[in-house]
Amino acid sequence: MVLLGSSKQNQVICSLLFLWFIGMLVKSILYLKDTIFIRKLTNQLPLFSMYPTDLLNPELYSITLNLSQTLKLSKMPEIRYCAEAYTPMTVKTQNFIILLPLRQYSKMELSTILLHEMIHIKHNDLKKLHVGRILTIIFWFYPIAYLFYHNIELICETACDQKVLLYLNPQLSHTEYFSLILSHTQPPKRIPTCFGLNNKLQLKYRMTASRFLNYHKFRSTFCSLLVGLTILASSSVITQASLTPIEQIHNHWFDETTELIEVSYEPSVYTFYTTQEAPDYMENTFLPSLSRANIIDTRTAHGVNSYAYTLAPGEHVSVSYLYLTPENTVTIGGTYSPSDAKFRIGISNGTYRKYVYPSGGGYSPTFSISSSETYQIFIENTGAISFTVKGSYAF
């Protein structure tokens, strides 16, 4: 008879406990890293619609205020434009913050997107997601924990989809709503995954579940059972059962629906101009500003910095200096008011400048270069009226 407390078994148990602890430590560090990144990112981003005195986005502020009152939120969320966000998403630091990618939105798009994200806030979905994330940290070795986390995301998103369609019916049809979601499916950037509008792996389930309510009810019941099974022992039969809702989806209906959807949004295409600087530009403007600036070396530094200026006609401002290489790019994004302002924004090495002329009230061009040099990010008012510009640049 072998006793449970024998030396050999104690060594095995201690080894397993040590491995479990190391796994939890690694997962916790990754989770903490994502949290710190999001907090740092949101602190650097310009705030657009928190205050009614901000005249840059009065329509955005009005939509945010009306939706907050309709949903009876205790506090109106902050809205920030983010070059790193590949889809609208909700994060939380001290307050809820909705991150919007830098692009142009119609009033209906803004209303739908903000309603979707605010319903997540109303349902406290971020807390539910954190619970699932903590379970994957504790049970990092257990596949059922990840299936439970996946189920939380699906249930939260599907419940949110159903609420949005209920609020906006009949102004927005089921197909139009998911057409909007498909128009925001873009390759992920560096920002950690949060609650956002798009996830192609989940989209098939969401499209069906939002239309056929039995799917969502089944998934909710299944997820409630799965939380107990995550903590207790389970078998491969449970793993197979977790896939049942996905397998029950009408694939034929999904394929037909997605084929009919036309994605109206196309990423902005910018015309880049390259011109030679004035003969005295290097000596009179570039070098004096460079001597007072802190140069950011993109070979070792990566991040997002914000800026805000009001420019009079003919005024030129130097935003920052970056040391760029052909392997590095800089994305300059922002919005401006009034929308008919004429200006150019770009980079200059003191001899040549590369720039674009923004239009429509917003911009987010990405600049690349062919040789390693120090470049100045500049904004120049070429029009006859003053304007205000706010944004950020990611490097």
CA nearest 322: which of 292, 348, 343? 348
pLDDT digit string, tens, across residues 169-192: 778 887 788 777 777 665 555 555
Residues of the chain below pLDDT 50? 1-4, 48-55, 197-198, 233-250, 265
**Is the dihedral angle over the CA atoms 199, 194, 66, 55 positive or is it negative?**
negative
Name all contacts of 357-362 with Cβ < 8 Å and 24+ positions apart. 357/271, 357/273, 357/382, 360/104, 361/104, 361/335, 361/336, 361/337, 362/81, 362/102, 362/103, 362/104, 362/333, 362/334, 362/335, 362/336
Q: How far apart are CA 147 and CA 135, in angstroms?
A: 11
Where are the CATH 2.60.120.380 domain residues in the chain?
273-394
pTM above 0.85, yes or no: no
Q: What is the pLDDT of residue 248?
A: 44
Per this entry, what is the length of the chain?
Answer: 395
Q: How far apart are CA 156 and CA 110, in angstroms?
A: 20
Topology of domain 273-394, CATH: Jelly Rolls (2.60.120)
Beta strands at 195-196 and 304-311: parallel, antiparallel or unpaired: unpaired
Q: What is the percent of the chain with per-residue pLDDT over 70, rounded to a whole number?
A: 74
The answer to whether 224 touches 131, Cβ cutoff 8 Å, is no
pLDDT digit string, tens, across residues 284-338: 888 888 888 788 888 887 777 888 899 999 999 989 999 998 888 888 988 898 8
